[in-house]
Amino acid sequence: MKRVLAVLLAVVCLSAGACSDPDEDADELRSFVRTSERQPRTFTYTVAEEDRAYSVRATIEDELRHSMVLSHGGRPVMDYVVRDDALAIRLRDTAFAQRLANVLGDPVVDAALKQGRWVVDPGGAPPLIGSDVRAGQETSGDPFRDARDAIRSVEQAMGSARLVREFTLEDIEYRPILDPWRYPPKDGRERRYDLLRPRLPTSEAATIQGSGDIGASQFRKTSVFVTGTQIRQICSLVDVRGHEEFLELRRRGLDSNPFLAQLLKRIEEGETAVPIEERYAVAELEYPKEAAVAAPSDAATGRLEAFKTAFQTALEGGLLRPTGRIDTTNCRRTTSES
């Protein structure tokens, strides 16, 4: 009898394609994260949210040395270089500089920044230990920190995922209609790992009356593309309106599920414990043999505290508000793939 059961179980498992160790894919991806984090790299990080859109082009020599260029509205606006304890800034766009504050530092710093020259603060590098991510939120609010931590964010997202699974079209649970991302090539040179979202709660006992309110993780679709042992692309979308349960709710009418309707209302009105915002973020990485970050030459020296405060205040005031149409097609699956 036992043998019959074992055979039946094996048949069921084979047909479901789900017999592998559920942690195996997560362990594999975690090791790729660690390998990739330790390598010099360059990458582009593109973010589109309702109230901010930007891209960052970055070179990472190691965790204490990196250079980045922030672009907004398709134009490079600011250089940001960290070399150990030193921070160097250059504003490339005078209109952008004017939107920060009237005064950007002491007279030497203020003049240099407004003239588009480099300013180096020898002890101005951002802290290494700090509130990396605002409690429960997707980001730190600082585009440079978020870009720098793009790979590390995969591990954080894994922590809140229901499951990490290597993508395969053989997966009987896979629903193409719910998946925004491209397929890896069929030649097997590139693999894709999906961070599966936790399911939505079915009653309030599991949300505000339970262990905690829902968050962005229930709506985040993250896929990580790996070649060899290196992460090549990280694609993430927090998609509230497109969540299948909300789509179904709208189709059937809000009265069909009062709990879900109330949940949707709380999200739309920003009344969840941490506001949940739609967010598209894609990082594309390369690993050149050398990715040295040099100190800028011909830089003025001065304190950048006033500048950092002005930049932070301007960010909170909508400095990176989307201008024009934002291209969020990168990493998406084309119609011909579907």
Task: Summarize as ranges the residues that interact with another protein (CB under 8 A).
Answer: 37-38, 62-64, 84-86, 122-123, 125, 128-129
8 Å CB contact between 42 and 288: yes
Of the two residues 73 and 122, which places its CB atom closer to another protein in the complex? 122
Residue 158 CB, nearest approach to another protein (Å): 16
Distances (CA, A) of 24 to 20, 27, 40: 7, 5, 27
Number of Cβ within a 10 Å radius of residue 240 = 16
What sign does the dihedral 267-269-270-273 (CA atoms) show? negative
As measured in angstroms, the least distance from the Cβ of 291 to another protein is: 13
Question: Shortest gap between Cβ of 60 and another protein (angstroms)?
Answer: 10
Measured from the CB atom, the residue of 36 and 71 that comes closer to another protein is 36
Cβ neighbours, 10 Å, residue 8: 10
Query: Residue 158 or residue 267: which is nearer to another protein going by CB?
Result: 158
CB of 337 to another protein, least distance (A): 36
List beta partners, residue 196: 163
Structure tokens at 292: 């040295």
DSSP conformation class of 279: E
How many C-beta atoms lie closer than 10 Å to residue 132's C-beta?
A: 17
- Least Å from the CB of residue 28 to another protein: 18
Nearer to another protein, 85 or 173 (CB): 85
- The C-alpha atoms of residue 237 and residue 138 are separated, in whole angstroms, by 11
Closest to another protein by CB, 84 vs 271, is: 84
What are the DSSP calls for 56-76, one per residue?
A: EEEEEEETTEEEEEEEETTEE
**Smallest gap, in angstroms, from Cβ of residue 39 to another protein?**
9
The amino acid present at 115, given as its one-letter code, is Q
Calpha distance 187→84 (Å, rounded)? 42
Q: In angstroms, what is the minimal distance from the CB of 306 to another protein?
A: 17
* Closer Cβ to another protein, 37 or 49, answer by number: 37
Q: Which is nearer to another protein, 33 or 224 (CB)?
A: 33
**Judging by DSSP bridges, how do beta strands 119-121 and 300-301 pair with one another?**
parallel
